[in-house]
Structure 1
Amino acid sequence: MNETLRLGTIAGIRVGVNWSVLIIFWLLLVGLAAGRFPAMYPDHSATAYGIAGAVAAIVFFASLLAHELAHALVAERYGLEVEGITLWMFGGVARLRGDAPNPSADLRIAGVGPLVSLVLGAVFGAIAVLARGLGVAGLPFAVLSWLAVINVLLAAFNLVPAAPLDGGRILRALIWRRKGDRLQAALVATRAGRQFGFVMIGLGIVLFLMMPGGGGLWLALIGWFIASSAGAEEQRARLQRSLQDRRVADVMSPDPVTVPDTLTVGQLLDAYLLRHRYSAYPVVSMDGSLQGLTTLQRVKEVPPEDREVLPIMRVACPAEDVPRAAPDDRLVDVLPAMGASRDGRLVVVDAGRIVGIVSATDVARAVDVAELRTRAG
């Protein structure tokens, strides 16, 4: 899920939202303001219900952010790089680069999220009880009690031992600790996630057939997301197993052809694209430092009449967005950044000098070679 709007940074961690947050926000707002709150406390105005529903939904998303921020902060404590946090329709995700160094770290990173949700549920519950004891009831109590219940339910659901839920991460950490094999533990957790997702899909379909409405379809949709995410994680785990000993230098295409940042698109086409077989070129300044990355696909998007005058830096991926790695980096650690890039390339830099480039074709070949070696063994 890509970030649509950046909200800022918290503790140095980038925070953003995906447009799909609007869907769940609207569903929560309508469900609370037009359903739950009027049923609990009738005789209030529509405006009062709307404000209460909006406050509850906003604080709920703040709770989700606290949940993901806890994951990110503990991950940073163990030396993992946090690319950012994105809130979206199905909750939130903290994007971590690399793997936990040991099972204990993996367990703590996974477990802290549900713990924070449980604590928030207890805090909201305590405030609700205190408010009622002081004679504050009505909609404020309804908002607080709902926030208490939803945070506890969020923690409980996330503790289901099925990846990509936090409970699946916890299961992975426990199996990793016992068996000593992280990748095998990951495969067990992802298989559990796929099975759990299929069960939710089945239950959702049954509920929809028995009680037509949005509830069953929503449950099936969440199950589909869990099953598909678990399947993707299983593929990544198998890929990591194939490439776990490979370094970036082992698969990169060395000494890529670079182009100066002073060219126009037309000059790039005539002097490079028509003369070389490559489809991606790092763009460099006069001192050889990386300024961006341009590709054949980006050039194709430029209208022919603009090519002679348009500078390549206007169409190139800017340097700050180009995935980079050092030759000795583990390939599996840098693949997520490469996969998230529109251009699907990774520029390899050593002591400030561009020494290679990695494409999806390079990675696929490395996987094929690893599989051949496994079969031969």
Structure 2
Amino acid sequence: MKETLPLGRIAGIRVGLHWSVLVIIALVAGTLAVGRFPDAYPGHSAWAYWILALLAAVVFLGSLLAHELAHAVVARRNGVAVDDITLWMLGGVARLHSEARTPGAELRIAAVGPLTSAAIGGACAALALWLDALHASGLVVEAVAWLAAINIVLAVFNALPAAPLDGGRLLRAWLWRRTGDRMRATRGAAAAGRALGWFMIVTGFAAVLLAGDLSGLWAALIGWFLVATATAEERQAQLRGVLADLPVSRVMTRDPVTVPAAVTLASFLAEGPFGHYRHSAFPVVAPDGTVVGLITVPLVNRTPVEARSVTTVGAVMLPLADVITSGPDDPVVDLVPRLEASHARRALVLDGDRLVGIVTLADISRALSWLTAATRPGT
């Protein structure tokens, strides 16, 4: 899930919003402002309902962010780097740089999410009781009580033993510890995730068709997400099994053609695609030979034709800080999810400060095809 609106960094972790988060804000605010709040406490003005509903929706997003941050913090404490966190329509996603190394680490990383949501729900419940004891506005108490309930529901739902939910991670950790086979554990958690997903899809559509309850569409959507994501996780695990222990140096293109940062875009374009520059992306180097970024055709296209004769490659390149980098001895399996989530779909391979190669998803796909053929029975 790629972010649409970056929010900066929290505890050193990049946080962003996907555009679909507007759906959950609109859904929560509309449900509260038009339904729950007026039904529970009639007589207030429409703007009072809407302002409080929007505040509740924003706080709910904050609780989702706290849930994912808890995963991220515990992951880092267990030696798993975190690339970023993105909030979207169905919650949040903390993208881990790699997988947990042990069942115990997997269990700790997974368990902290539901525990955080449960703690937030408990805190909100206590706050609602305190406000009620102080005879605060019933509408405010209702909003805080709703936040308590929704976070407890979130904790319980996420604890269900089905991938990709946190409970699915807990199930995988238990199966992994019991069998000693991470792949077998992943298949078990994925099967549970698909079973739960199909159950939600069937019951959701049944609620719509038989009872006319349109909220069943929401359950069916979540079910579809569970089926798709559980299947994707299983395939990712199979990919890791095939690419296990394969270093980046085995699949990268060595000594790639580079572009000087001081070259103008017009000169750069004049030599491609039939001259020196035959690809669609190139590392950019400073005068001393150190790599400083990456230039791609889409980046060049953003510059007007009339300005390309005076605009340098260095002025439009993707800076090195925003480019995915890897070491030649790093595992390929840890690089794949980072490449899939990037816009450039490429990584520069650095040995210290020295550029030694470039790797794309196509390079990894070719290696995967050969390895799959080599390990397939009968070959």
In 2: Cα distance, 1:216 partner to 1:366 partner: 44
Indicate yes or no: 2:262 matched with 1:262.
yes
Q: Does structure 1 residue 241 correspond to structure 2 residue 247?
A: no
For the pair 1:75 / 2:78, whether they are aligned, the reply is no
1:327 equivalenced with 2:328 (yes/no) = yes
Shift, 1:99, TM fit: 1.1
Give the secondary-structure state (helix, strand or coil) at the position aligned to 2:215: helix
Distance 2:343 2:132 in 1: 53
- Give the secondary-structure state (helix, strand or coil) at the position aligned to 1:214: coil
| CA–CA separation in structure 2 for the residues paired with 1:128 and 1:84 | 33
- More displaced 10-residue stretch of structure 1: 14-23 or 156-165: 14-23
| 8 Å contact from structure 1 (residues 273, 296) kept in 2 | no
User: Which deviates more, 275-284 or 239-248?
Assistant: 275-284
Aligned residue in 2 for 1:4: 4
CA RMSD of aligned residues (A): 2.0
Determine helix, strand or coil for the equivalent of 1:241. Answer: helix
Aligned match of 2:347: 346
**One-letter amino acid of the structure 2 residue matched with residue 291 of structure 1:** V
Which deviates the most, 182-191 or 330-339?
Answer: 182-191
Corresponding residue of 1:287: 288
Partner of 1:354, secondary structure, is: strand
* Post-superposition CA distance 1:303-335 (Å, at most 9, x none): 655544442234432222211100010111111
Q: Residue in 1 aligned with 2:358?
A: 357
Secondary structure, counterpart of 2:271 in structure 1? helix
Q: Is 2:194 aligned against 1:197?
A: no
* Residue number in structure 1 paired with 2:47: 47
Does the residue aligned with 1:86 lie in a helix, a strand or coil?
Answer: strand
Deviations along 1:61-102, whole A, 9 cap, x unmatched?
111111111101101101221122211111111121011121
Would the aligned equivalents of 2:243 and 2:368 in 1 still touch at CA under 8 Å? yes
Aligned residues of 2:207 and 2:214 also touching (Cα < 8 A) = no
CA distance in 1, matches of 2:12, 2:297: 36
User: What pairs up with 1:85-164 in 2 under 5 angstroms?
Assistant: 85-136=85-136, 138-164=138-164
CA distance in 2, matches of 1:242, 1:275: 37
Where does structure 2 lack aligned partners over 5 or more consecutive residues?
none
Q: CA deviation at 1:272?
A: 5.1
Within 1, Cα distance between the matches of 2:308 and 2:57?
A: 49
CA contact (8 A) 2:132 2:138 kept: no
3-state DSSP class of the match of 1:347?
strand
Q: Judge conservation of contact 1:255–1:355 (CA < 8 Å) in 2.
A: yes
Aligned length: 377
Matches of 1:9 and 1:361, distance apart in 2: 31
- Give the CA deviation at 1:233: 1.6
Tell me: CA distance 1:55–1:343, structure 2 relative to 1, closer, same or farther (3 Å): closer
- 3-state SS, counterpart of residue 278 of structure 1: coil
When normalised by structure 1's length, the TM-score is 0.94
Instruction: Show the counterpart of 1:33.
Output: 33
1:336 Cα deviation (Å)? 1.5
Contact kept? 1:183, 1:240, Cα under 8 Å: no
Larger displacement relative to structure 2 (157-166 or 299-308): 299-308
Aligned-partner Cα distance in 2 for 1:280–1:133: 64
- Secondary structure of 1:275's counterpart equals coil
Find out whether 1:311 has 2:312 as its counterpart.
yes
Instruction: Note the alpha carbon deviations across 1:149-205, whole angstroms, 9 max, x for none.
Output: 111100011111111111111111111111112232222222322232222122221
More displaced, 44-53 or 301-310?
Answer: 301-310
Corresponding residue number in structure 2 for 1:221? 221
1: distance between equivalents of 2:335 and 2:99?
11
Q: 1:136 to 1:307 in 2, by over 3 A?
A: closer
**C-alpha distance in 2, partners of 1:264/1:8?**
32
Distance in 2 (CA, whole Å) between partners of 1:236 and 1:338 is 13
SS at match of 1:282: strand
